Amino acid sequence: MTDPAARDWLRWPHEPDRARFGYGADYNPEQWPREVWEEDLRLMRRAGVNIVTLGVFSWSRLQPGPDTWDFGWLDEIMDRLHENGIAVDLATATASPPAWLTTAHPEVLPVTRTGETVWPGARQHWRPTSPVFRRYALALTTALAERYGGHPSLAAWHVSNELGCHNAHDYSDDAAAAFRAWLRGRYATIDGLNHAWATDFWSQRYTDWDQVLPPRLAASHVNPTQQLDFARFSSDALRDHLRAEREILRRHTPDIPVTTNFMVMGHVQEMNYADWAHEVDFVSNDHYVRPDPTGADELSFSANLTGGLARGRPWYLMEHSTSAVNWRAVNPPKAPGELARDSLLHVAHGADAVCYFQWRQSAAGAEKYHSAMVPHAGSDSRVFRDVAELGRVLAEDLAEVAGTRRSPARAALVFDWESRWAVRRDSLPSSLLNVHTEALDWYTAFLDLGVRVDVVPTDADWEEYDLVVAPLLHLLPGATARRLDDYVAGGGHLVTTYFSGIVDENDHVHLGGYPGPLRDLLGLSIEEFAPLPEGARVTLDDGATGTLWSDRITVTSPETEVLTRYADGPLAGGAASTRRAVPGGGSAAYVSTRLDDEHRVALLRRLTREAGVDSELPEDLRGRVEATVRAGEDAAYLFLTNRTDEPVKLDELSGTPLTGADVTGEEAPVLRPRGTTVLRVPVADVAR
């Protein structure tokens, strides 16, 4: 048996024992003639590329017909990469089925909610529940595992690509059959399902499993628990595909780690990565920064959560962009400095591989206007020079940082996938709620205060933290509610917000006043929600404005302090935010509206202080820079990212700058606008 720990990071074929940052891209040589391959290899060496992801969309080239295979070109490029010191993250190539397969078996194509077939012509047109698709995909996976399992360049296996990016929900008959099987596994009896789905509502009671369907187009709101279970099922169906490919790969190559690229904060929010993170040998993520002034904060949030999913272990930034993408309405290039800043901010949160989509910008096809490491202009270009410089920084300036781990913060922000699903559904008190936005708001408040925070999934060990912020924790099973009780009883400080603790795992309301299982903990009870229409505001007695939501709150415990009250509107005089200090030193705070940024920061400042969680930054740097810490055995590394467009003087910080800061004479190092610097500091100074 192989020790699973041996698989928890890349197998580096050249010098296996030296820690280093991976640097590279998706590489699609099949789009180019042979002479370009030689230039590719030359330029990869110049850029410091040491790993590429190969074969992601190569199925139609590798298997031109059901019984014909063409591995010659892949053999050749694998060999050439190896000779050039470049490792390969080899895709199983199953992401996009070839035309011969979908022509012979149109029953592998997904079907939409409204019954339309998703035809070939783009990519990822397959149903995860199709036995026919599964058979062909596993045959290809087996063929690749057999042929390349022993190839010296192989560093990792890459299952499919962005599973669920375009096929997260399939409503076909295959899906219906698999959904029923999944429901039988969950509820055992049809009565169990009737209870969970509350089917006495609107005459939905089932008497036979065959009557149960995916939530296809219906006359009005489809049963909410049916929708929630379909979201769970759809995530599990894709996860099963991941498992099926992974098992073949593990059987053939027990020592080679298996990963697949997540889209943790992507526009597709259907895969429960908190759950999927347990299925891969190491976590990989794709992230595309928003081209707006808050983009870097959102990037940091995504990187931070990816680090949380990786549970402190190294993770792989599988894709990001060197400059523009091609899929937003307008796609501006990155400004000078942003390429390095974006990459290093992921490294700051524990990424040990920094890769792009893609190596060479395509000349044709749907992504020809998407940036790459080698742009249309060629290597004599700003993008390529920046790419090569970053390759140098990772290999030289930051060499000693590779293999170190992100140090835990003292505060955690809980991100809950099932609440995200439950809150974005129809038939709710408000359709304006968004778990991602609310979590990002609180994250930004932490950045503004200069207080480090770890974004973690609900099943993480948040009991380790002094302060836990769990915004919009809407779906709250009894077991999680008890964890919150225990956490606060043990001295922890909890902050939660509006519309939290409202339903159980079946999406049934906790009765007797909201938020059912949190009422005693918070020392309050809510009789009625009062969501606010778009654009409407309410004023609080400290001058704050609230949007989106308000609650009619009754304070029920003498230990509950009212922090702010509503100052106008129908709730005037009522509590808007509260904090209950419990015997034993812990506390539980509640915020009933979406505060404006300034007052959210002010409230969080107070709550962090009361929890004894302080900024580790000198006063004048708080909010202007983001700080994270990675620690090794001999040294720790303080990553500082400039959140402003001005240079920031690092006056009061000691430590040796390894990269990204300008040092002149005796002057303090200066962090460039939008730049990231890394200071080497003694472990004792920063690590928890």
Kindly provide the residue ranges of all beta strands, DSSP E only, lying in 28-69, ordered along the sequence. Answer: 51-54
- C-beta closer to ligand GLA: residue 230 or 288: 288
Structure tokens at 652: 């009061």
Please state, as a whole number, how many other Cβ atoms lie within 10 Å of the Cβ of residue 248.
22
CA of 540: how far to CAs of 301, 543, 576, in Å? 29, 5, 7
Shortest distance, position 384 Cβ to ligand GLA, whole Å: 19
CA distance 566 to 412: 28
Shortest distance, position 161 Cβ to ligand GLA, whole Å: 5
Shortest distance, position 122 Cβ to ligand GLA, whole Å: 10
In the set 245, 270, 298, 319, the catalytic residue is: 319
Q: Is 507 in the site for ligand GLA (CB under 6 A)?
A: no
How far does Cα 235 stand from its chain's mean position? Answer: 15
Shortest distance, position 286 Cβ to ligand GLA, whole Å: 4
Find the binder of ligand GLA among 19, 139, 177, 325 (CB under 6 A).
325
- C-beta closer to ligand GLA: residue 325 or 395: 325
Find the binder of ligand GLA among 162, 270, 297, 352 (CB under 6 A).
162
The secondary structure of residue 395, as a DSSP letter, is I
Shortest distance, position 425 Cβ to ligand GLA, whole Å: 17
Q: CB neighbours of 247 closer than 8 A, spacing ≥ 6?
A: none
Shortest distance, position 95 Cβ to ligand GLA, whole Å: 8
Find the binder of ligand GLA among 124, 161, 269, 458 (CB under 6 A).
161
- C-beta closer to ligand GLA: residue 7 or 334: 334
- C-beta closer to ligand GLA: residue 245 or 626: 245
Helix residue spans in 278-329 (DSSP H)? 295-309
Angle, alpha carbons 9-13-17 (nearest 5°): 65
Q: CB neighbours of 123 closer than 8 A, spacing ≥ 6?
A: 57, 95, 96, 166
Radius of gyration of the chain (CA): 26
How far does Cα 474 stand from its chain's mean position? Answer: 19
CA distance 637 to 681: 6
Shortest distance, position 100 Cβ to ligand GLA, whole Å: 22
Shortest distance, position 661 Cβ to ligand GLA, whole Å: 31
User: Would residue 162 show up in a list of annotated catalytic residues for this protein?
Assistant: yes
Kindly provide the residue ranges of all beta strands, DSSP E only, lying in 551-635, ordered along the sequence. Answer: 551-555, 560-565, 575-581, 587-591, 594-595, 625-631
Shortest distance, position 238 Cβ to ligand GLA, whole Å: 14
CA distance 574 to 567: 8
State which of positions 541-570 bind ligand GLA (CB under 6 A). none
Q: Is 370 in the site for ligand GLA (CB under 6 A)?
A: yes
- C-beta closer to ligand GLA: residue 189 or 326: 326
Structure tokens at 438: 């609310």
User: Would residue 319 show up in a list of annotated catalytic residues for this protein?
Assistant: yes
Shortest distance, position 156 Cβ to ligand GLA, whole Å: 16
What is the per-residue burial (b if ≥16 Cβ within 10 Å, else e) of 251-283? ebbeebbbbbbbbbbbeebbbbbbbbbebbbbb
The secondary structure of residue 354, as a DSSP letter, is E
CA of 688: how far to CAs of 347, 408, 411, 578, 611, in Å? 19, 7, 12, 30, 16
Shortest distance, position 327 Cβ to ligand GLA, whole Å: 6
Q: Is 371 in the site for ligand GLA (CB under 6 A)?
A: no
Whether cis (ω within 30° of 0) applies to the bond prior to 314 is no
- C-beta closer to ligand GLA: residue 162 or 438: 162
Asked if 165 contacts 266 with a C-beta cutoff of 8 angstroms, the reply is yes
Site string (274-313) toward ligand GLA, x via CB under 6 A:
------------x-x-------------------------
Find the binder of ligand GLA among 367, 397, 466, 662 (CB under 6 A).
367
How far does Cα 225 stand from its chain's mean position? Answer: 25
Q: What single letter denotes the amino acid at residue 31?
A: Q
Residue 502, SS3?
coil
Residue 172, SS3?
coil
CA of 152: how far to CAs of 44, 90, 235, 359, in Å? 19, 12, 34, 21
Burial class (CB in 10 A: 0-12, 13-18, 19+), 388: middle
Please state, as a whole number, how many other Cβ atoms lie within 10 Å of the Cβ of residue 216.
15
In degrees and rounded to multiples of 5, residue 671 shows phi and psi of: -85, 125
CA distance 372 to 678: 26
- C-beta closer to ligand GLA: residue 68 or 220: 220
Q: Is 357 in the site for ligand GLA (CB under 6 A)?
A: yes
- C-beta closer to ligand GLA: residue 325 or 562: 325
How far does Cα 290 stand from its chain's mean position? Answer: 14
- C-beta closer to ligand GLA: residue 25 or 401: 25
Find the binder of ligand GLA among 174, 281, 297, 319 (CB under 6 A).
319
In the set 162, 270, 338, 418, the catalytic residue is: 162
Please state, as a whole number, how many other Cβ atoms lie within 10 Å of the Cβ of residue 566.
24
Determine which helix (DSSP H) or strand (DSSP E) holds 77, and give its type and residue range.
helix 72-83
The secondary structure of residue 678, as a DSSP letter, is E
- C-beta closer to ligand GLA: residue 367 or 685: 367
Q: Is 386 in the site for ligand GLA (CB under 6 A)?
A: no
- C-beta closer to ligand GLA: residue 161 or 557: 161
Any idea which residues carry the catalytic annotation?
Answer: 162, 319
Contacts with ligand GLA, residue ranges (CB under 6 A): 161-162, 286, 288, 319, 325, 357, 367, 370
